[in-house]
Structure 1
Amino acid sequence: MSFGIALMLAACGAADKGESAASASANPVISLDTLRTVTERLSSDEFEGREPGSPGEAKTLAYLVERFQAAGLKPGNEGSWFQDVPLVELTAQNVSPLSFTGGKAPLSLAYGPQMVVGTNRVTPRIDLKDSEVVFVGYGINAPERGWNDYAGLDVKGKTVVILINDPDWETKNLEGPFGGRAMTYYGRWTYKYEEAARQGAAAALIVHQTEPAAYGWNVVQSSWTGAQQVADAANGHMDHSQAVGWIGLDQARALFASGGQDFARLAAAAKVKGFKAVPLGGVKASVSFDMNVRKHSSKNVIGILPGTSRADEYVLYTAHWDHLGRCEKAPDGDDICNGAIDNATGTAALVALAQANAKAGPTPRTQVFLAVTAEESGLLGSAYYGSNPVFPHARTVGGVNIDAMQLAPPARNVVVVGKGKSELDGFLERALAAQGRVATAEPTPEKGFYYRSDHFSFAKYGVPMLYFDGGDDLVKGGKAAGAAYAEDYEKNRYHGPADEFNPGWDWSGALRDAQVYYAVGRALAQSDAWPKWAPGDEFRAIRDRSRSGATG
């Protein structure tokens, strides 16, 4: 049985200024066998969870080059398939309990079930001792919004306790000092640690709450225990805090009570502009651990289909090949986070899209197929490409990012992360119309997905990238069925050993989504348009500046 759906891109309207007639039609034949085979192979135990710097990486790279070559791609980096990405692997060992003394009652939090901790510093040992604890609300310093949780506060040498997400995340609409329900970058855990380091904090601890974090403690525990990757840096990241980590909600409540404070009251107060940080009654934090430090070079994999008449203009297809490697054991003893859906499926789609485009023949613009490393460690591979682009950002038209294909039956829609941000939406809507589907905005913008995948690394340099998830309105079962699929994946598989290949998966929905990726990318590669960011978008000015010096 073939699940192939012929995509015919609708004729371009007047609004699609500059788009060539050649982009008006495409008939993709996406290989279901490729999607299945590549996903199954990359997520097998043989690849050990595809951790950067592990034997699993070497196997992954060799397999991707083999598949890229067979698909018809050419090496994309001056004759090489690879772009070296300098990394440091940091593994915390002999982690002591995180202890709090000096309050009403001493606390000792266990590594794993109650707290996780690590460091970005490239150093063999961390000893945090008797560091005064201060609650800094959401830990945000945003002058343009008139908000500073660190105002009048000196946290040098201190441990800051921080809430996840933005102060207005519980708002039901998109109105508020930080975009209401939609998370801004200020809400991301990465920002919280960055700002704490800028303020001089010795340690930064985020309080885990499932709804504003968008995932349960199991995800925090599996992601933070074991080896961690950071970008290599000349200063060894010694300007970062000594220790960063998370503590459970119940443990946070106990900590605040020990410091003579009520967690719920202070958390509510932190939502209001003008909140002042609160020391926790003389409570002091201590934790220590050894660090196993290993410098290594991971790799992005780059293949291209050279363009014809405008070969110096580039269209990107991106997906991350890495996952977590060995992780926290499941009850059955399985300690391999195979990352079948996240993101063996996206990497398989990258290969299948390369195949389909090679068979369809060259396009005016060069098509770039980029499998990046270390996404799970904080978008490190794409960030490195962003700061060291193989193809100039000013000559990169835009593209699509593929992260975790949905293995649910067909849906009536796709869920666009960042809908309305750029003119790429028009390309997507035409591709979906050919399937009788629609694009809908993400229903949970508070989860901050826009800042959690590799498209963000390109957006920061002004390159518009389209990122969508499989639909949440299934043809059979509607939104209830879509919600049940999403809940099962997030609770039982996401970032855990249970994210394994399932021979019984229904690929029909994922195949339709892959065809949409093809249609969008192919239309961009055939077009002469340069999609813009929406007026007022945070990345518009960056793109305008980079394009002002470019021709074409």
Structure 2
Amino acid sequence: MPLALAFLAAAAAPAPPAISIDTLRSVTKELSSDAYEGRKPTTPAEAKTVAYIVERMKAAGLKPGNHGQWTQAVPMVEIAGTAHAPMVFSGGKTPVSLAFRTDMVSATYQVAPSVAIKDSPVVFVGYGITAPEDHWDDYAGLDVHGKTVVILVNDPDWRSPDRTGPFEGRAMTYYGRWTYKYEEAARHGAAAAIIVHQTEPAAYPWAVVQSSWTGPQLELDEPGDHRDQSRMIGWMQLDAAKRLFASAGQDFATLEAAAGKPGFKAVPLGVTMSAGLTNTIRRQASQNVLGILPGTAAPGEVVLYTAHWDHLGHCDPVNGDGICNGALDNASGVAGLIALAEAQAKAGPARRSLLFMSVTAEEAGLLGSRYYAEHPVYPLAKTVGGVNMDVLNVHGRARDFVITGAGKSQLEDLIKPIVAAESRTISPEEHPERGGYFRSDHFSFAKLGVPMFDGGSGDDLVVGGMAAGRAATEDYVAHRYHKPQDEYDAAWDWSGAVADLDIYYTLGRQLAEGTNFPNWYPTSEFRRIRDASRAGN
């Protein structure tokens, strides 16, 4: 019997208890009120936020999820660059000097008051990917210790019109994300790692890089102060890269094309890079909130539901309003978490434990979920899988359902019949090239092997069809996302959120009542991590 059918045969779930719309409304309204000041981590508003979530978890019928405690401390450090020297490339036909913000941005993961790179040899490493399962290694035979690597963003096959190619074609894989590029460069000992920005493969313009990388940056505060990372990371404008390559006697377009083909070999550019920056450092802590419904027969095996509680706090005012309340992003997701906890508790304990976790610092780079994944209360090898919720549908029921990052895990085999039972269809992700699967908290667990599901209503609304759905999505992105206008609206239609939450409930219940452990598909970049994790269990 195929694995998905075995799951279904062994763990068919009864109809879910009704999801409470009153809970969805009350939690979203409360957490997005001005009294919570936009729920920025480590501010006085955090204590109020955490206390409210704990109160609602208790009322839902959960138990403290961290060995008798409701929270998990997440140590963080703020690194604020105060002076960025130009990035100077020497030894070519002409010197190339790149100015901070306009030509490049520079930063560091290392917790250090200053960073200096002096005459570091520069190597173009193509897409900077080491993927044994895809027979691809841009670092093959290369020693980059002490060197500066220049890297292309996205995957080698990002120009594909469809999803065919060694890295899923048009759909971005984790190997295409900028976070991976820096991680892989550090694993190979690079002193500095600089990504070439191009708007289409990055999926955002240079202005996003400028705004995201030029203020204080939060990182996890851990022993070693991240000295295992490259001393400097950053981005450079495409035109700046072309000038650098020309100075080195190379044509950027020619090497870019070569980097997209199997067998590419890294190219030393014959120039050196010098740069530096100084930092101010502030150590602080935040909290993840954990509530659990203990299992009966296998309490040590855990099914996850996650939603981040944080938002941006005080932000640039619009019409005199300077609080980014984050009603949809992600007070609504926390409301969904509490509503699911109520429903699961009402149904009674399952065979396995159900863990409901509201994590901190998603907006700062998935830090809360990453900390839990790297310091789990329950071993990841015995974490079955789960669902993440980040922005619920408040525009009414949708005929369709979209799986973010489709084609990755066996959770999809389970979700499809659940969606069909709701008389809904699966629609393809509209922009798979944007790498949406890697941009919320589920990814912190996926990266370490745990299959996590992310998906929700598509744009084909029962009332108004695709036109209404797309208009609502575009309005949110253009006028409310990460702005003070993301506020609670009593006129919202929660029926679409309830329909999605019914699906999340059923998936979680099937996993919690089952005995199997889902895995990633053999082609997934996370398969070998899960296999290694589960090998001893």
Give TM-score, length-normalised by structure 1.
0.84
Question: Is the CA contact 1:410–1:510 (under 8 Å) kept in the aligned structure 2?
Answer: yes
Residues 280 and 464 of structure 1, relative CA distance in 2, 3 Å threshold:
closer
Q: Distance in 2 between matches of 1:117 and 1:131?
A: 15
Tell me, which stretches of 5 or more residues in structure 2 are unaligned?
A: none
After TM superposition, give the deviation of residue 124 of structure 1 in Å. 1.1
CA offsets, 1:222-280, max 9 Å, x none? 43333322223322112322221223344444554555554434323321233344455
Query: Which amino acid in the other structure matches residue 231 of structure 2?
Result: Q
2:58 aligned with 1:72:
no
CA offsets, 1:88-140, max 9 Å, x none? 222222344555566647544343x6543321101112234554544332122
From 195, 212, 215, the counterpart of 2:204: 215
Q: SS in structure 1 opposite 2:149? A: strand
From 309, 315, 332, the counterpart of 2:303: 315
Task: Give the corresponding residue for 1:229.
Answer: 218
After TM superposition, the runs of 4+ consecutive aligned structure 1 residues lying more than 6 A away are 330-335
From 489, 492, 495, the counterpart of 1:508: 495
CA offsets, 1:300-330, max 9 Å, x none? 2110123345544432211122334456x47
After TM superposition, give the deviation of residue 351 of structure 1 in Å. 1.5
Question: Is the CA contact 2:186–2:229 (under 8 Å) kept in the aligned structure 1?
Answer: yes
Tell me, which stretches of 5 or more residues in structure 1 are unaligned?
A: 1-12
Task: Give the corresponding residue for 2:151.
Answer: 162
Q: SS in structure 1 opposite 2:10? A: coil
Query: Which amino acid in the other structure matches residue 346 of structure 1?
Result: G
- Which has the larger displacement, 40-49 or 376-385? 40-49
Question: Is the CA contact 1:464–1:531 (under 8 Å) kept in the aligned structure 2?
Answer: no
Task: Give the corresponding residue for 2:519.
Answer: 533
Q: SS in structure 2 opposite 1:161? A: strand
Q: SS in structure 1 opposite 2:158? A: coil
Superposition map of 1:134-533 within 5 A: 134-151=123-140, 153-257=142-246, 261-278=250-267, 282=271, 284-288=273-277, 290-325=278-313, 329=316, 337-490=324-477, 493-494=480-481, 496-498=482-484, 500-503=486-489, 505-525=492-512, 527-533=513-519
CA offsets, 1:371-408, max 9 Å, x none? 12233344332233223322233443332111222444
Task: Give the corresponding residue for 1:19.
Answer: 10
CA offsets, 1:153-180, max 9 Å, x none? 5544443322111111111233323232
Q: SS in structure 2 opposite 1:307? A: coil
Q: SS in structure 2 opposite 1:385? A: helix
Query: Which amino acid in the other structure matches residue 304 of structure 2?
Result: L
Residues 441 and 90 of structure 1, relative CA distance in 2, 3 Å threshold:
same
Identical aligned pairs, as a percentage?
Answer: 56
Question: Is the CA contact 1:39–1:501 (under 8 Å) kept in the aligned structure 2?
Answer: no
Task: Give the corresponding residue for 1:30.
Answer: 19
Question: Is the CA contact 2:400–2:457 (under 8 Å) kept in the aligned structure 1?
Answer: yes
Residues 105 and 544 of structure 1, relative CA distance in 2, 3 Å threshold:
closer
Question: Is the CA contact 1:492–1:498 (under 8 Å) kept in the aligned structure 2?
Answer: no
Question: Is the CA contact 1:216–1:491 (under 8 Å) kept in the aligned structure 2?
Answer: no
Q: Distance in 2 between matches of 1:535 and 1:138?
A: 23
Aligned length: 531
Residues 309 and 232 of structure 1, relative CA distance in 2, 3 Å threshold:
same
Q: Distance in 2 between matches of 1:200 and 1:283?
A: 17
Residues 335 and 532 of structure 1, relative CA distance in 2, 3 Å threshold:
same
Task: Give the corresponding residue for 2:46.
Answer: 57
Query: Which amino acid in the other structure matches residue 225 of structure 1?
Result: T
Question: Is the CA contact 2:88–2:95 (under 8 Å) kept in the aligned structure 1?
Answer: no
Question: Is the CA contact 2:32–2:488 (under 8 Å) kept in the aligned structure 1?
Answer: no
After TM superposition, give the deviation of residue 79 of structure 1 in Å. 1.2
Q: Distance in 2 between matches of 1:45 and 1:224?
A: 28
Query: Which amino acid in the other structure matches residue 15 of structure 2?
Result: S
